């Protein structure tokens, strides 16, 4: 082998290595581009899903706030009705106590004429007598 042939073989070998390196770098570049595109697409999907979830949560918060408002109004109505009924119960209890006192104050005489006199004294007159 001569020096010329050796140099040509070295140049051919270097050219093959350069072409292989260029080809590998191109493949790596394409792989990096594919990977970057995939990452970008995944990121876009994550952002889209996050925005959808945010909207869904905001809608749910709005619905719950509306429901809470309705519940507070119902609670106020129930409270007012409770207070009204408590007042009515107090009135009826007072009425019952008054009737009990009246009942205790009534003395029923055993004499019929005394009974008629007592009934007249309490306001029952002849208009209450049945024919």
Q: What is the pLDDT of residue 10?
A: 81
Helix (H, G, I), strand (E, B) or coil at 13: helix
> For residues 56 and 76, what is the distance between their CA atoms, to the nearest angstrom?
30
**For the segment 7-34, what is each residue's pLDDT rounded down to a tens digit?**
888 888 888 888 877 777 777 677 777 7
Q: How confident is the model at residue 88 (pLDDT cuts 50, 70, 90)?
A: very high
Share of the chain above pLDDT 70, in %: 89
d(Cα 95, Cα 88) in Å, to the nearest integer? Answer: 10
The predicted pLDDT at position 69 comes to 96
Give the per-residue pLDDT at 1: 61
In 24-77, the DSSP E strands lie at: none
* All structural domains of the chain with their residue ranges: 3-128
In this structure, the dihedral spanned by the alpha carbons of residues 121, 122, 127 and 130, taken in order and rounded to 10 degrees, is -110
- Which residue, 26, 70, 73, is CA-closest to 81? 73
């Amino acid at each position: 082998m001569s020096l010329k042939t050796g140099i040509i073989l070295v140049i051919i070998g270097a050219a093959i290595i350069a072409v292989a390196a260029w080809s590998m770098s191109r493949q790596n570049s394409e792989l990096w581009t594919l990977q970057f595109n995939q990452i970008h697409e995944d990121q876009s999907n994550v952002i889209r899903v996050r925005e959808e979830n945010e909207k869904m949560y905001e809608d749910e918060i709005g619905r719950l706030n509306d429901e809470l408002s309705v519940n507070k109004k119902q609670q106020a109505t129930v409270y007012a009705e409770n207070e009204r009924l408590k007042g009515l119960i107090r009135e009826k209890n007072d009425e019952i106590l008054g009737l009990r006192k009246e009942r205790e104050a009534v003395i029923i005489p055993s004499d019929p004429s005394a009974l008629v006199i007592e009934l007249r004294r309490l306001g029952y007159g002849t208009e209450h007598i049945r024919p």
